[in-house]
Amino acid sequence: MSDNVRKVAVRDCEIGGPDLVVMAGPCSVESREQIFQAAEVVAASGGRFLRGGAFKVRTAPVAFQGLGWDGWRLLREAATANSLLTVSEILVEDQIEEAKRYVDLAQVGSRNMQNPPLLKALGRSGMPVMLKRGFGCTIDEWIHAAEYILAEGSQDVVLCERGIRTFETATRFTLDVAAVAIAKARLGLPVIVDPSHAAGRREWVECLTLSGVAAGADGLLIETHPNPAEARSDGPQAVVLAEFPALMDKARRVAEAVGRRVGAAAAVA
């Protein structure tokens, strides 16, 4: 369980303790209305972090690249208004200093896991980091990537299993559930699960969420959108916002079965 895991503090939120930390929101921040709607429901469902990308890493250059700094400003505003913290991807070293105003937990994306200059810069930055697993990377490689951050003197690293590429095509990626336990045991850091990018389709998000909780995840990173049909990125995998509270209820019941809690943490001061 979480006993031998180092607890990582992000402001007043502890990751790696008995409470699973729920992070949720849209793939990308798209508008004030969208991110405020998401923040309200995430907070009411026991979430602690509002997620939302502002600088997106898209496979194709013609795809929506995010609202940039305006996206981060909106993310911070919506989170603060609902007593939430923020998690968002930092793409390049140049963004780090300014990002500290808007982002509480710095996400390293799957495609950037093997980018040592970025990892080292984040390790020196004083920001807590959530390191996503590269979708073509082994657990060993993921752990070494985390060591790049730790080697700079940082203690505050959380890993995120988000699915790896396999021969299976029915899901976007394959959630490596064993990796949750293995990475925790090997590195002694909290591991959270992102069922959304693994599933690729919203109908499979629930089973991966629940299996992640059962496997001992210390948190969840879930994409949810008020109107997924209009989402500018990752709409097919976004849980409909109105259905998010029910998903959290199910996660809560599985968490209780394995001696953990979901959404029991106090509001941010």
List of residues contacting ligand PEP (CB under 6 A): 27, 53, 57, 109-111, 132, 162, 197
Residue 132, binding choice from Mn ion, ligand PEP, none, Cβ under 5 to 8 Å by partner class: ligand PEP
User: Rule CB under 5 A: is residue 30 a binding residue for Mn ion?
Assistant: no
User: Tokens in use for 260?
Assistant: 């953990």
Considering only residues 225 to 264 of the shown chain, the ones binding Mn ion according to CB under 5 A are 234
Q: How many angstroms separate the CA atoms of 7 and 14, rounded?
A: 6
CB of 269 to ligand PEP, least distance (A): 27
Q: How many angstroms separate the CA atoms of 19 and 28, rounded?
A: 26
Closer residue to ligand PEP (CB): 29 or 121? 29
Q: How many angstroms separate the CA atoms of 125 and 122, rounded?
A: 5
Q: How many angstroms separate the CA atoms of 25 and 28, rounded?
A: 8
Binding mask 76-95 for Mn ion (x = CB under 5 A): --------------------
Interface with Mn ion (CB under 5 A), residue total 2
CB of 53 to ligand PEP, least distance (A): 5
State the Cα angle at 52 between 47 and 53, rounded to 5°. Answer: 155
> What is the three-class DSSP state of 97?
helix
Q: Which helix H or strand E contains 73, and what residues bound it?
A: helix 69-81
Instruction: Compute the half-sphere exposure of residue 18: CA atoms within 13 Å on the CB side of its CA.
Output: 7
Amino acid at the residue 43 = A
Residue 232, binding choice from ligand PEP, Mn ion, none, Cβ under 5 to 8 Å by partner class: none
Residue in 15, 22, 23, 27 binding Mn ion, rule: CB under 5 A: 27
Closer residue to ligand PEP (CB): 5 or 199? 199
Instruction: Tell me which residues touch Mn ion (CB under 5 A).
Output: 27, 234
